Amino acid sequence: MASGNLFFDDLRSKPEVINPPQNEDILGSESVNDPTQSATKPNFVVYSSVRELLECPVCLNAMYPPIHQCSNGHTLCSGCKPRVHNRCPTCRHELGNIRCLALEKVAASLELPCKYQSYGCIGMYPYYGKLKHESQCSYRPYSCPYAGSECTVVGDIPFLVAHLKDDHKVDMHRGSAFNHRYVKSNPHEVENATWMLTVFNCYGQYFCLHFEAFQLGMAPVYIAFLRFMGDDNEARNYSYSLEVGGNGRKMIWQGVPRSIRDSHRKVRDSFDGLLIQRNMALFFSGGDRKELKLRVTGRIWKDQ
């Protein structure tokens, strides 16, 4: 819908035009959905103005019912009302408990583009359904899967792969099998630190292998798990196995990789991976048990 995209793109640049509609027909759903509407026609100015009126003057976010107003008609969202101590942030008059039912009704007639339009989502969504869609939109960006720092970078998968390689210096491997050795000189000192993240490229996808130590109760434990760089519905198409052992014994884990939509901490704290108690890890290490030496092997395969 051409007019919808234009008013969204130009939202910040348009001058405020506040001419409240005198009847609901001006904002009827027919004109909202008519792709032949020109951005130069009066209806475009009305839509732009209404979209601005739906922006809370305090938090600048879109307002959803209940929308509150003061006796002078100034509005704000329900989340910000307690923050202003029942005083209108525009005119300082007392707010009371007046709802702006007219603006709530007008909002119901609008359709807006997804905020992830720049990532590829081309749909138009009803005003009151837009938030729900965006929380589940398959085009929404992913968070950086690196757990060694509080990285706030987000983006699509190709961008994050390059980011992991260039900014975090993560090891990149091709192939579906792996054989890694983890060594720590003092296994008795653990500070919830991530030890290693390795990215594997196989089956045209990317997988993150995590291995780390963290405190569980009074003793440290070690965990290895795999995350899929994509959504959960795609992750279910793959399986993986992990194996660790020594001194004639071994432990084997088999599971399904978790999507990076689930945070590293969420996966770790659910123990969804190969979990090794410290005493067992030192037994696998052999020698005088003063140094941790673990070899973790495994493979990834695509389920038929």
pLDDT digits (tens, 9 = 90+) for 283-292: 888 766 667 7
Q: Which two tokens stand for residue 99?
A: 């709802």
Contacts of 89 by beta carbon, 8 Å cutoff, 6+ apart: 57, 58, 74, 76, 80
Please tell me which residue, 112 or 225, carries the higher pLDDT value: 225
For residue 4, what pLDDT band results from cuts at 50, 70 and 90? very low
Share of the chain above pLDDT 90, in %: 42
Question: Alpha carbon of 173 to those of 25, 126, 208, 235, 270: distances in Å?
Answer: 61, 44, 10, 19, 27
For residue 28, what pLDDT band results from cuts at 50, 70 and 90? very low
- Point out the least confidently predicted range of 20-29, 64-73, 91-100, 267-276: 20-29
Q: What is the mean pLDDT of residues 266-282?
A: 89
Q: What is the pLDDT of residue 127?
A: 87
Residue 233 clears pLDDT 80, i.e. is over it = yes
